Structures are given as structure tokens and as C-alpha cells.
């Protein structure tokens, strides 16, 4: 390993709370744009399918593999860059790139063009969260991080709300291409704000007593994670939670449009409003609970994530089989608990791993979320819906959404193994 402590004690003074709060608000806005274009695609899937003559399997590939696979693979490289480079500049450059490519998505004319454009969006959006997670770890002390990550993850649901409400309304009145233009253009202005308003903090500034900023070579980093199966287990468990939860996140609007014959602007309004408010509330709630429980035992972070997904599964099943008058109520409740898994999982990860591996650890987590979780779910639902359509007609999407909930059971098994193994792999954090 190369490099050691490189800062004076004076440099370790953490940033002021007001400025840290400002940085958090800006990063929430960035994260909202990171998700807005994804949910514009979700609310417009039925329109895109009709216009470009696509199958559900192709929709699943566009919303899953075309985006998530390249997002995850490129994210590992970006994370290595972020662990050693200027995180603020990386985020700013990435935001400008994905905003431009989102506009390009609206100009595509066939499956191949959309596929390539979504790949480009995925590559550039992968440069958002790994450096952002690492930045926030240097702006917030360990006892405040789960709440900070909860607020940050709320950007997911702000993006969902904006994507569904604005995308649904603009798409219904002006077409899906205009919706992509509206989703991409504002991000170019926010990219300038990030570049000129956020300072790059000293690494480890918010961690009391942390002076080790050892630089890990790639092989050494891989060895570090491989020797800690608890980390790999709860990463896989969390990814499988995402696989189950993506059914309600990504396919509920199409289900409501196709099965219940609701107009896309109405679906966008209700799913956007409920998704944003319930998702943000759930994320903040899980962060507060996790911060309090982690003072007793860090492993309780993972129990909070598991408790949330345990309520998502029955909520999703009720949603797809419930009477129409209960649909939006169940959607809101399920989305509330679906936001529980991310803040405590990020918080415990950023606490356990070395300072110079924080962005890479976040990228490993997001790799699982996007390849196993989002891409796996979207392909599975699209494929199953196409296979079952001859017999079930439009109801095929209902049963496909229900079928992927089995992933949450497998995820719980992985997470429980990780919880049991944590004291052995990270003994310094679990001494009595």
C-alpha cells in the first residue's frame, strides 16, 4: 500500500453545519435529476412502446440492461477516480453529460438508437452517487450520516415525483419526446451550481480520530472486500431487495395505464405526488431510526433495511391484486417502506470501510442495485409478461410483478448471514 496520513490536525476540522446542509441540498437536487430522466422513461413506456413498436422485453432491456449494466460497470471506474480525485468536479461534469444525453433520448427513432442513448445516460449518471456518498461522509459526522444519506436518497423520490408528474403531463399533451427535453435541460444549470458553489473537503474531516488515508491499489481493494464476506453478503441482500422493490417503482405506472386504463397524466400526477411524499418520508424516517439504533449496535442498520422490505412484498402483492379504489393508497404505503433499505445500508458501509475506499464501496453497492436489482427486475418482468401474455392478456404484467417478489426472501437470507458475520469481519467496530 502507498501513502499514509497526509493532513495536519488543523485540517481535520469538519465543515460548518450550515454549509454542510447547503451542500446536502445541492446534492439532493443533483440526485433528483439523476432519477428524473429514469422516471420520465417509466411513465412514458407505454407511449414509447406504441410509437416505436417495441415488446415488453425490449422495454425491460431499455429500462434495465441498457441503462443499469453500463451504469454499474462504469461506476466502478468512476469510484476509483473519486477516491483519489476531485469529487465535486466529477459530479458537475457528469450532470452536464447525462442532462445532454437525456435530451438526445427524446430524438431517437428506433430501438437501437434508444438503447445507445440510454447506455450513454447510464455511463454518465454512474458518476453521481459514489463521489456524493464519499463527499457527504466528509461533511457529516458518523452520528448524523444515516439522516444525511436519508435526505440525499430522498432525491430519488423527488426525481420520481418530477418525472411522473411533469413527464406524464407533458407526455400526454406534447408527446414523449418533449418530456425528455424538459427532463434534461434544467440539469445543465445545476451542473454549474455544483462546480462553483461546492468546495472539495478534506477526506476524513468529519471522522474523529481518523488519520489513515492509505491509498489502495485496485488489487488491494479487491482483496480487502473479498476477505470480508459480511460486506459482500449484505450487499447482495440489498441488491435482491432492490429487485423486489423495483416492481412497484418502475412498473406501477405501466400497470395502471395498461390494466386499469387510466390516462398517463392522471397516473403521473398520483404516482408522482404519492411516490415523492411517501418515498421521501420513508427515507428520512429510516435514517432517523437507523442513526438512533446504530448507537447501540451498527448491525441494527441492516435490520431497519430488512424490516422495510418485509413490508414491501405484501404491499406489492396487494397493489397488483387489490380493487381499483385502493390502488393509490397501497402504492403510497408500499413506496414508503420501499425507501427504507438505502440510507442505513449506505451509512453502515461508509462507517466500516477505510476513507479511501468509500466511493468504491458505494460503487460496489450500486453495481448490485443496478445489475442484480433494477436490470434483473426489469428484464424478468418484461420477459415474463411477454411469455404469459398469450394466456393472460393484459393481466400478464400483474403476475410478472408478483413473481419477482421471491427475490426479497433470498435477499433476507443473504442479509441475515451478513449481520451474523459482521463482528468477525469488522471486529474493531464490535468490541464489547
CATH value at residue 42: 1.20.1250.20
Supply 1's cell numbers.
500500500
DSSP 3-state of 2: strand
pLDDT at 410: 96
What's the number of domains the chain is made of? 1
Residue spans of alpha helices (H) in 44-139: 45-52, 56-63, 70-82, 87-105, 111-125, 129-139
Q: Give which of 425, 267, 404 is closest to 349, Cα–Cα.
A: 425
Model confidence over 365-392: pLDDT tens digits? 888 988 899 889 988 999 999 999 999 9
Any residues with CB less than 8 A from the CB of 427 and at least 6 apart, and which? none
DSSP 3-state of 204: coil
**Residue pair 265/173 in contact by the 8 Å Cβ criterion:** yes
DSSP 3-state of 215: strand
Q: Give which of 69, 84, 199 is closest to 121, Cα–Cα.
A: 69
**Residue pair 111/57 in contact by the 8 Å Cβ criterion:** no
DSSP 3-state of 432: coil
Is residue 261, in this structure, part of any structural domain at all?
Answer: yes
Which phi and psi angles does 430 have, rounded to 5°? Answer: -125, 30
Q: What is the DSSP letter of 3?
A: -
Residue spans of alpha helices (H) in 175-228: 176-197, 218-226
Is residue 2, in this structure, part of any structural domain at all?
Answer: no
Give the number of other CB atoms < 10 A from CB of residue 323.
Answer: 7
Give the number of other CB atoms < 10 A from CB of residue 249.
Answer: 28
Is residue 6, in this structure, part of any structural domain at all?
Answer: no
Give the number of other CB atoms < 10 A from CB of residue 74.
Answer: 18
**Residue pair 230/118 in contact by the 8 Å Cβ criterion:** no
Any residues with CB less than 8 A from the CB of 407 and at least 6 apart, and which? 240, 241, 243, 244, 376, 377
Supply 118's cell numbers.
440510454
Segments of the chain scoring below 70 in pLDDT = 1-15, 64, 207-214, 431-432
**H/E segment holding residue 53:** none
Supply 371's cell numbers.
445489475
pLDDT at 210: 52
Q: Give which of 135, 170, 131 is closest to 36, Cα–Cα.
A: 170
Q: Give which of 326, 320, 288, 330 is closest to 404, Cα–Cα.
A: 320
CA pair distance 32, 329, nearest whole angstrom: 24
Is residue 132, in this structure, part of any structural domain at all?
Answer: yes
Is residue 242, in this structure, part of any structural domain at all?
Answer: yes
User: pTM for the whole thing?
Assistant: 0.75
Q: What is the DSSP letter of 324?
A: G
> 122 is in which domain, residue-wise?
13-206+218-429
Supply 73's cell numbers.
460497470
CA pair distance 349, 415, nearest whole angstrom: 13
Which phi and psi angles does 47 have, rounded to 5°? Answer: -65, -40
Is residue 233, in this structure, part of any structural domain at all?
Answer: yes
pLDDT at 4: 41
Is residue 213, in this structure, part of any structural domain at all?
Answer: no
Supply 310's cell numbers.
418485509
CA pair distance 347, 153, nearest whole angstrom: 12
CA pair distance 55, 320, nearest whole angstrom: 21
pLDDT at 176: 92
Residue spans of alpha helices (H) in 215-263: 218-226, 229-259
CA pair distance 99, 117, nearest whole angstrom: 12
Supply 154's cell numbers.
430522498
**Residue pair 146/343 in contact by the 8 Å Cβ criterion:** yes
H and E: helices and strands count for the chain: 19, 0
CA pair distance 186, 104, nearest whole angstrom: 14
Which phi and psi angles does 215 have, rounded to 5°? Answer: -90, 120
Give the number of other CB atoms < 10 A from CB of residue 288.
Answer: 15
pLDDT at 72: 78
Is residue 276, in this structure, part of any structural domain at all?
Answer: yes
CA pair distance 414, 115, nearest whole angstrom: 33
Amino acid at each position: 500500500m502507498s501513502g499514509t496520513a497526509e493532513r495536519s490536525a488543523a485540517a481535520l476540522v469538519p465543515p460548518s453545519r450550515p454549509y454542510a446542509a447547503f451542500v446536502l441540498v445541492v446534492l439532493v437536487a443533483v440526485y433528483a435529476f439523476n432519477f428524473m430522466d429514469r422516471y420520465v422513461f417509466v411513465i412514458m413506456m407505454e407511449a414509447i412502446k406504441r410509437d416505436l413498436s417495441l415488446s415488453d422485453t425490449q422495454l425491460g432491456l431499455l429500462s434495465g440492461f441498457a441503462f443499469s449494466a453500463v451504469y454499474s460497470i462504469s461506476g466502478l471506474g468512476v469510484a476509483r477516480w473519486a477516491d483519489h480525485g476531485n469529487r465535486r468536479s466529477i459530479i458537475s461534469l457528469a450532470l452536464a453529460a447525462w442532462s445532454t444525453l437525456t435530451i438526445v433520448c427524446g430524438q431517437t427513432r428506433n430501438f437501437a438508437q434508444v438503447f445507445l442513448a440510454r447506455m450513454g445516460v447510464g455511463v454518465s449518471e454512474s458518476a453521481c452517487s459514489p463521489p456524493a456518498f464519499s463527499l457527504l461522509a466528509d461533511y457529516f459526522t458518523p452520528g448524523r450520516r444515516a439522516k444525511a444519506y436519508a435526505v440525499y436518497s430522498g432525491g430519488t423520490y423527488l426525481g420520481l415525483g418530477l418525472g411522473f408528474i411533469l413527464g406524464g403531463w407533458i407526455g400526454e399533451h406534447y408527446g414523449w419526446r418533449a418530456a425528455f427535453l424538459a427532463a434534461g435541460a434544467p440539469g445543465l444549470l445545476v451542473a454549474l451550481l455544483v462546480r462553483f458553489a461546492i468546495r472539495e473537503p478534506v477526506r476524513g474531516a468529519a471522522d474523529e480520530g481518523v488519520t489513515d488515508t492509505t491509498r489502495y491499489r485496485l488489487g488491494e481493494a479487491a482483496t480487502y472486500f473479498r476477505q470480508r464476506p459480511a460486506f459482500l453478503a449484505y450487499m447482495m441482500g440489498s441488491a435482491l431487495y432492490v429487485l423486489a422493490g423495483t416492481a412497484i417503482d418502475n412498473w406501477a405506472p405501466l400497470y395502471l395505464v395498461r390494466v386499469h386504463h387510466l390516462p398517463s397524466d392522471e397516473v403521473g400526477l398520483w404516482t408522482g405526488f404519492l411516490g415523492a411524499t411517501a418515498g421521501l418520508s420513508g427515507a428520512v424516517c429510516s435514517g432517523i431510526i437507523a442513526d438512533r439504533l446504530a448507537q447501540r449496535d451498527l448491525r441494527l442498520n441492516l435490520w431497519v433495511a430488512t424490516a422495510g422490505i418485509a413490508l414491501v412484498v405484501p404491499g406489492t402483492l396487494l397493489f397488483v391484486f387489490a380493487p381499483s379504489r385502493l390502488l393509490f393508497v397501497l402504492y403510497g404505503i408500499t413506496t414508503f417502506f420501499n425507501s427504507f433499505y438505502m440510507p442505513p445500508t449506505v451509512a453502515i458501509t461508509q462507517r466500516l470501510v477505510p476513507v479511501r475506499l468509500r466511493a468504491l464501496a458505494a460503487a460496489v453497492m450500486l453495481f448490485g442495485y443496478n445489475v442484480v436489482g433494477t436490470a434483473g427486475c426489469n428484464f424478468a418482468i418484461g420477459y415474463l409478461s411477454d411469455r404469459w401474455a398469450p394466456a393472460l392478456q393484459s393481466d400478464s404484467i400483474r403476475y410478472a410483478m408478483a413473481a419477482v417478489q421471491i427475490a426479497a426472501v433470498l435477499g433476507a437470507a443473504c442479509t441475515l448471514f451478513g449481520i451474523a458475520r459482521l463482528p468477525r469481519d469488522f471486529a474493531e467496530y464490535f468490541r464489547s
